[in-house]
Amino acid sequence: MVFILTEKKSRGSDMTISRNIDYSLYFVLESPLCIHDPLFTVNEALAGGSGIIQLRDKDASYEEKLLIGREIMKLCRKFDAVFIVNDSLELALELSADGIHVGKDDESIESIRSKIGDKLIGYSPVSIDDAISAEQSGADYLGAGAVFPTESKRDIGSAHGIEYVREMVKSVKIPVVGIGGINHENAGLVKAAGAAGIAVITAISRETDPRKAAMELKKIFR
């Protein structure tokens, strides 16, 4: 699903542009979970149709994330995709990323907005009320999950199920992206719940052919 985001062309400018944000396939890079070279995996995910790449790599040093982030940014520009940094506002700003994804324990959305301007802010709510509050605070999209049991994102708690996604979609107007344990077999359920897209890690990173895996996931949201 593609949403139109109106944003400033530059900070302090009155000129605005409309940008198509394709949330249908959102790839979250965790380098240790890739069976191929991480940058190769990112390239193949983009070639397969991913419209958003998030650099997560929680265990990497700042310098390591800076180095790989610069290369991911180049790939995202090549494929006209969106580049998001997880958690670190400093890193997002230094890389001139398209946005940042945060959670309940991170800096407030209002504070981030004051520093990041019109760039994208994604948020992982812990409840439906938290999702509503995040929208009111200025979040651009929400990550709903974990939808299904998952080993790759243990920090987002136990699985909430499809109804959680459905209820969140009904409760907010901004895009909702399902995350957690999503693969080719169950992605259709997330779409049926009204999600704008799916965020995946191992459904691409652990596949022998990550481009083909991305293409198959992308087809589900067409």
Residue 16 Cα to chain centre, angstroms? 23
Average confidence score pLDDT of the chain: 91
* Position 2 confidence tier, pLDDT thresholds 50, 70, 90: low
Question: Which residue did the predictor score with more confidence, 18 or 148?
Answer: 148
- Residue-wise pLDDT for 141-166, tens only, equals 999 999 999 876 555 567 999 999 99
Are the CB atoms for 169 and 193 separated by under 8 Å?
yes
pLDDT at 151: 76
Question: Which residue did the predictor score with more confidence, 14 or 71?
Answer: 71
pLDDT at 121: 98
- Percentage of the chain with pLDDT > 70? 89
- Residue-wise pLDDT for 83-126, tens only, equals 999 999 999 999 999 999 999 999 999 999 999 999 999 999 99
Domains and CATH numbers, the chain: 2-6+17-220 (3.20.20.70)
For the question of whether the overall pTM of this predicted structure is more than 0.85, the answer is: yes
Which residues are marked as active site?
56, 124, 153
pLDDT at 13: 31
- Percentage of the chain with pLDDT > 90? 86
pLDDT at 152: 65
DSSP letter for each residue of 146-165: -SS--STTGGG-S---HHHH
* Position 134 confidence tier, pLDDT thresholds 50, 70, 90: very high
Q: How far is CA 141 from CA 5, 146, 149, 160, in A?
A: 11, 16, 22, 18
pLDDT at 10: 37
